[in-house]
């Protein structure tokens, strides 16, 4: 819409219609999403604690100093990296393999998909509860199965042993997240024009060649977009860890988002939480810039 036209009565009716439709969405989002986030960023520079609301003042970078000097921070950062990248790589690899097997119709495919996609309708919290029960050190079914299979000779404290805890929460996260990639990649593969496969057949391509030269190039934009998004989502996803270990034992499963949650919900220290949040945003921004640069934005889907 051009500016000069707005004055004409017919166009201004369109403008009024657009405003009428958009304002109910825009105003709440600005007031209850953007405003609190900006205010949270401001709080990162304040002494702002629920338990000491009479003493709110700007303290510069003190909160950041506190967070950066936290002796657990190196562990937390390392955990965040492991959590994000191992989850991502395995979710993607398994999701890709499944969608290769699923994108062509076969009898029972619909039912099969329903049964392997359902985890997506569940909450991270419940998934965490379920896996916490299965990974239980004494009575857990996973220990029982491994013992029966003769793979271990004594029970493993999956959630109580710092060596195993990260592995356990990542398994639960993979269980949850493969469906996302399977859904997205299957949809993308189904949109490949049949002619491309016919042409590949005529050139005598085998399965692997078809995958490398037809499927992957065609779905590359989807791969780039979904992996980019997924990194951010996994990064900001404390639910499973919260329910399974709540960061323990001995911080061995704390990631930045569970750490931030801990500072807010249980510590009531909005200043410190804000500082962790700002650090998270900076890391995510750096990642996004790097990703856009590495993959050249033009290839990614158009948001």
Partner 1 sequence: MKRKVVRRVNLSAKVIILGIWLLFMIFPLYWMILTSLKPKNDIFQFPLEYLPEKISFENYANIFAISKFHVYIGNSLLVSLLSAFIVIVISILSSYVLARFTFRGSRQIMSGFFLTQMIPMFIGFGPLYSIMSQLNLLNKQGSLVLMYSVLLIPFCTLMLKGFFQRIPSSLEEAAMIDGCSRLGGLIRIILPVMKPGISATFIFAFVQNWNELFLAIMFIDREEAKTIPVAMNSFITKFDIDWGAMSAATVLSVIPTMILFALCQRLIVQGLTDGAVKG
Q: Which of residues 179-208 bind partner 1 (CB under 8 A)?
A: 183-184, 187-188, 207
Cβ atoms of residues 101 and 189 within 8 Å: no
216 binds partner 1 (CB under 8 A): no
Q: Is 50 helix (H, G, I), strand (E, B) or coil?
A: helix
CB atoms inside a 10 Å sphere around CB 258:
26
User: Is the CB of 69 or the CB of 206 nearer to partner 1?
Assistant: 206
21 binds partner 1 (CB under 8 A): yes
Of 8, 37, 58, 152, the one binding partner 1 (CB under 8 A) is 37
Q: How many residues bind partner 1 (CB under 8 A)?
A: 90
Of 68, 85, 288, 299, the one binding partner 1 (CB under 8 A) is 288
Q: Residue 46's beta-bridge partner residues?
A: 58
* Least spacing, CB of residue 163 vs partner 1, in Å: 23
Report the candidate in 114, 138, 119 with the shortest Cα–Cα distance to residue 130.
119
Of 192, 284, 291, 295, the one binding partner 1 (CB under 8 A) is 284
Of 265, 282, 286, 289, the one binding partner 1 (CB under 8 A) is 265
Of 129, 146, 211, 292, the one binding partner 1 (CB under 8 A) is 129
Report the candidate in 133, 166, 246 with the shortest Cα–Cα distance to residue 144.
133
Using CB under 8 A, which of the segments 63-71, 127-135, 156-164, 194-202 binds partner 1? 127-135
Residues in 130-149 that interact with partner 1 by CB under 8 A: 130-131, 133-134, 139, 141, 144
Q: Residue 290's beta-bridge partner residues?
A: none
User: Is the CB of 86 or the CB of 97 nearer to partner 1?
Assistant: 97
CA distances 44 to 56, 97, 129, 237, 270, Å, are: 12, 43, 32, 21, 7
* Least spacing, CB of residue 217 vs partner 1, in Å: 17
* Least spacing, CB of residue 5 vs partner 1, in Å: 11
User: Is the CB of 77 or the CB of 94 nearer to partner 1?
Assistant: 94
Residues in 53-82 that interact with partner 1 by CB under 8 A: none
Residue corresponding to tokens 């998909």 = 113
247 binds partner 1 (CB under 8 A): no
CB atoms inside a 10 Å sphere around CB 237:
21
Helix (H) or strand (E) holding 47: strand 46-47
Cβ atoms of residues 157 and 197 within 8 Å: no
Of 236, 249, 292, 295, the one binding partner 1 (CB under 8 A) is 236
Helical residues (DSSP H) of the chain, grouped into ranges: 9-29, 35-43, 62-69, 73-102, 109-117, 124-134, 141-148, 162-190, 194-202, 207-210, 216-235, 239-244, 256-261, 270-295
Cβ atoms of residues 221 and 302 within 8 Å: no
278 binds partner 1 (CB under 8 A): yes
Of 47, 66, 75, 113, the one binding partner 1 (CB under 8 A) is 113
* Least spacing, CB of residue 25 vs partner 1, in Å: 4
User: Is the CB of 166 or the CB of 261 nearer to partner 1?
Assistant: 261
CB atoms inside a 10 Å sphere around CB 145:
12
35 binds partner 1 (CB under 8 A): yes
């Amino acid at each position: 819409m051009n500016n000069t036209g707005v004055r004409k009565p017919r166009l201004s009716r369109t403008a009024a219609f657009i405003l009428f439709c958009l304002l109910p969405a825009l105003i709440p989002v600005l007031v209850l999403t953007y405003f609190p986030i900006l205010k949270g960023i401001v709080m990162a520079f304040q002494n702002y604690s629920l338990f000491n609301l009479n003493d709110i003042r700007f303290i510069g970078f003190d909160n950041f100093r506190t967070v950066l000097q936290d002796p657990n921070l190196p562990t937390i950062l390392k955990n965040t990296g492991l959590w994000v990248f191992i989850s991502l790589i395995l979710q993607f690899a398994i999701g890709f393999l499944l969608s290769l097997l699923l994108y062509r119709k076969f009898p029972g495919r619909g039912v099969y998909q329903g049964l392997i996609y359902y985890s997506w309708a569940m909450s991270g919290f419940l998934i965490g509860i379920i896996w916490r029960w299965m990974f239980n050190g004494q009575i857990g079914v996973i220990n029982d199965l491994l013992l029966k299979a003769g793979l271990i000779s004594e029970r493993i404290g999956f959630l109580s042993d710092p060596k195993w805890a990260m592995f356990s929460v990542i398994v639960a996260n993979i269980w949850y997240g493969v469906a996302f990639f399977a859904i997205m990649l299957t949809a993308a593969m189904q949109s490949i024009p049949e002619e491309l496969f016919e042409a590949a057949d005529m050139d005598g391509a085998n399965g692997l060649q078809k995958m490398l030269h037809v499927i992957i190039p065609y779905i590359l934009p989807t791969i780039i977009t979904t992996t980019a998004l997924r990194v951010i989502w996994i990064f900001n996803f404390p639910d499973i860890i919260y329910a399974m270990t709540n960061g323990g034992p001995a911080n061995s499963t704390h990631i930045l988002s569970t750490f931030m949650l801990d500072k807010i919900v249980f510590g009531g220290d909005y200043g410190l939480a804000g500082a962790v949040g700002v650090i998270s945003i900076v890391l995510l921004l750096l990642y996004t810039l790097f990703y856009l640069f590495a993959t050249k934005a033009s290839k990614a889907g158009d948001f």
